[in-house]
Amino acid sequence: MQQQLAEALQRAYPEQIDALDAAALVGAVTGAILAAGHTAAATGQPLAGAIERVLDTATRAGQLTRDD
């Protein structure tokens, strides 16, 4: 499933993202969703709110730039 998502992401943005970056992005977001879901369940927080927060964080992170 993650590979399919990464391929779709690369097809949607071929000039902006390559296969490696697409796979890394999809893996990071799906991993973050799983971790947040486990934490939400363990702490009694709503799952939907945890997932929404992860997606908000990922969206903001995509807007950050590095000074290399």
Q: Crossing angle, helix 47-61 and helix 19-43, to 10 degrees?
A: 150
pLDDT for 22-62, tens place per residue? Answer: 999 999 999 999 999 999 999 999 999 999 998 888 888 76
* Residue 35 covered by a domain: yes
pLDDT score, position 65: 56
> 20 or 65, which is more confident?
20
- Which domain range does residue 31 map to? 2-61
Could you give the CA distance from residue 15 to residue 11 in angstroms, rounded to a whole number?
Answer: 9
> Structural domain tally of the chain?
1
Q: Is residue 66 part of a domain?
A: no
What is the helix (H) or strand (E) element at residue 42, kind and residue range?
helix 19-43
